[in-house]
Amino acid sequence: MDGFAICQSCAGSLAAHIPVARDTSRNPVGCCIRCQSFACRFHGKRESRSQRFRCVECLPAALLYSAVAYSGSENELAKAIIVRQGGGGQNAFEICDPKSFLEEHELVRVQTGETLSEFYQRSEFNLYRVELDQPGWERTVRDLRRIQFRLESTRQRDLLKLAGSYIAFMYPLESQAALPQDMQVLRSSLLSNCAGVLEQVDGLLVI
């Protein structure tokens, strides 16, 4: 029976989806264990180990929870992230590194065909960008820097970068999505390297 329910991500015209066959039905196939929203095969799947069904829009919160857990931070934002994750917290802690996460939770952008893995690899993550100097963001930026703890690669920093990449990939800056402030900050902390890619034309390298 069609029409008895809708996928929430399809209804919101999400900019990215799980890579599945084009002729796949967009009818809901599961209910997210965290938000209880219906999702189709483009926007939700069962995890291989736990068999819990999750929609793609709840995964950034799980990544943030994991970053907080590995950092051991207990600042105000860290506590809020833990509360926001709710009962799914223990399962979210199983997200231990970007590579294993991306192997199971790849996304593809609707318009360009670019994958989340490609976007993550070519993006730079910097919580000290001048773009983050916005009124009302000071406390959130400060707490995210404390969660990051070090500038060099650490597990929590890599997970924060992945969370920011995931958010920016699904919700570009021009989207109207209502995001928590910490997710807005993470999205703005990324700088894509696409403008600096070298292209070879007639034997010459050009930028």
Query: For residue range 82-112, what is the model confidence (pLDDT) as tens digits?
Result: 888 875 455 555 688 899 999 999 999 988 9
165 falls within a domain: yes
Q: Using 50, 70 and 90 to split pLDDT, how confident is the model at 202? A: very low
C-alpha triplet 44, 45, 46: angle, nearest 5°:
145
Domain presence at residue 83: yes
- C-alpha–C-alpha distance, residues 72 and 95, integer Å: 15
What is the arithmetic mean of pLDDT over 45-70?
A: 90
- 126 part of a folded domain: yes
Residue 115 within a domain? yes
Asked if residue 126 has pLDDT above 90, the reply is: yes
Output phi, psi for 30, to 5 deg: -165, 170
Structural domain includes residue 181: yes
* Residue 39 · residue 27 · CB < 8 Å: no
Residue 23: inside a domain: no
Range of the domain at 121: 57-191
Count of domains observed in the chain: 1
Q: What pTM was computed for the model?
A: 0.85
Residue 4 burial (10 A CB sphere; 0-12, 13-18, 19+): exposed
Give yes or no for residue 196 having a pLDDT over 50. Answer: no
Angle at 55 between CA 54 and CA 59, to 5 degrees: 80
**116 falls within a domain:** yes
* pLDDT at residue 177, as a whole number: 84
Question: What are the residues whose beta carbons fall under 8 Å from the beta carbon of 121, sequence distance 6 or more?
Answer: none
The model's pLDDT over 164-178, given as tens digits with 9 standing for 90+, comes to 999 999 998 888 889
Helix 138-148 with 155-170: angle, nearest 10 deg? 130
Is 9 a member of any domain? no
